[in-house]
Structure 1
């Protein structure tokens, strides 16, 4: 999880998600770069706050190159430039604050995104307001894990995820789709999502829309606007957005096996934490 957390937060690799709003330069294309990242001209002296900052970043992802490190405007922190973004690292090297990724605060000792943990509870409460009948669900018998995915019919990564829906189900993962027309309420994209949610067979309509970009026009009383607004409130920055049952954001497009491994790991960690709490309570 260490590498996943920092790579996702810094955007050092592809975010595997389509931009929230249209991008004339081609938002659906995966980012490409042929540039070689800059590195520090000289390694900071061992035992200094600068050295601890570099070590903390390297601990989370050894592949990431630190371009510069020095004094920060925040007391008790050093300022580092990593992948063209600013990272603030506490002088003891424990906490990393990433303002460019929605203000993520990471505890390097526990691998926890403390900002994400704080948001997770709010997300689960908001998602509970969407009736189960308003979700488009693709699930295997007796799923091992369930994720909520905010999706869009125009997004390339959303199409890629859905093209592998059978593989997610084969991994024991149930996918519950919610609508997030990233071009906004009233757009052609929005109208397509409404047509999907108004179809007699929503699953087939969604599959057809993602495959061809076309959907039979329909209208009815629907919750697409509600789902879109909740997507905004849970911090969606691009589609698809995958959320665990506990409200933890797992990224944009994540391959089926990688998602299963992440969910298994999270379940094991949760079980271990519960066992530790139970043991402490019985002591």
Structure 2
């Protein structure tokens, strides 16, 4: 949750290929957002007030965040916080954060849950099921611990970086199932390249060659590239790469292999904790 919210506030870029396709992948991380020296930070509000609770909620993301403004919001029951030029609406009790810049994403600051993401995850999971396994380009270890779906593009710098480290993801026990998302749109040169990849006799090699800027023979055939692109849009994809868990949860754009494994471990642990305890068997319950 914090990673996503910080991305919204401009601290971390998760899908840089959406905005800067030729950007250096090494520039994805930025410093935490703080008040500009030219714009004074908002004064510290009195403890226990709605403004103070709003500030506390925002600072669960990072203690260094310094809002430029905290005050009444046009939305009843919420305070308005401006951080780094981005608006966040926080409920008067400090629990819920509403981010208009994320399509109306709603977060529970106490439970640290993206409530909008919970709903989207179920939709994404169902959408992914409509794509046949035979239409995915899979790079997997012998016995994967986790499997993630990655919407990818052959022209995206971050997509290329992720693929150049595919052996590290597999070493971490992560299987990568690629789906096509030609970010330049259907009918573009980018789209035609991805059709050639999906029509190749050896898709894995063709995808690797395309991402390494090697020539891939032009091919055409009955394919699902358009279908995959449309599903990516319906799943809320705005940039590539987009990494989704088997449950449909978005875990970022480019994420290094070790960090992705840690994230997947945490999600698995949280899911296990949330699962209901198994019912006791008859003997344990006093049965015969």
TM-score, structure 1 length as denominator? 0.91
The 5-angstrom pairing of residues 170-249 of structure 1 reads 170-212=171-213, 214-249=215-250
Partner of 2:11: 12
Asked if structure 1 preserves the Cα contact closer than 8 Å seen for 2:17 and 2:157, the reply is yes
Asked if structure 2 preserves the Cα contact closer than 8 Å seen for 1:173 and 1:260, the reply is yes
Aligned-CA RMSD value: 2.1
Asked if structure 2 preserves the Cα contact closer than 8 Å seen for 1:49 and 1:78, the reply is yes
Partner of 1:51: 52
Partner of 1:257: 258
Partner of 1:37: 35
Partner of 2:22: 28
Give distance in 2, aligned partners of 1:277 and 1:123: 28
- Higher-helix-fraction structure: 1
Partner of 1:267: 268
Asked if structure 1 preserves the Cα contact closer than 8 Å seen for 2:121 and 2:249, the reply is yes
Where structure 2 has 5 or more consecutive residues not aligned to the other structure, the ranges are none
Q: 1:187 to 1:276 in 2, by over 3 A?
A: same
Partner of 2:65: 64
Q: 1:90 to 1:176 in 2, by over 3 A?
A: same
CA shift for structure 1 position 276: 4.7
Give distance in 1, aligned partners of 2:190 and 2:256: 25
Secondary structure of the structure 2 residue equivalent to 1:106: strand
The 5-angstrom pairing of residues 43-192 of structure 1 reads 43-192=44-193
Give distance in 1, aligned partners of 2:35 and 2:278: 44
Structure label with greater radius of gyration:
2
Asked if structure 1 preserves the Cα contact closer than 8 Å seen for 2:35 and 2:41, the reply is no
Asked if structure 2 preserves the Cα contact closer than 8 Å seen for 1:137 and 1:174, the reply is yes
Q: 1:240 to 1:32 in 2, by over 3 A?
A: closer
TM-score, structure 2 length as denominator? 0.90
User: Cα deviation per residue 1:1-50 (whole Å; 9 max; x = unaligned)?
Assistant: x532321333322234311xxx6xx4432469799633524111111111
Give distance in 2, aligned partners of 1:118 and 1:89: 20
Asked if structure 2 preserves the Cα contact closer than 8 Å seen for 1:60 and 1:108, the reply is no
Asked if structure 2 preserves the Cα contact closer than 8 Å seen for 1:147 and 1:243, the reply is yes
Give distance in 2, aligned partners of 1:278 and 1:114: 29
Asked if structure 1 preserves the Cα contact closer than 8 Å seen for 2:3 and 2:12, the reply is no
Where structure 1 has 5 or more consecutive residues not aligned to the other structure, the ranges are none
Give distance in 1, aligned partners of 2:30 and 2:168: 30
Q: Which moved more, 1:78-87 or 1:6-15?
A: 6-15
Q: How many residues align?
A: 275
CA shift for structure 1 position 104: 1.4
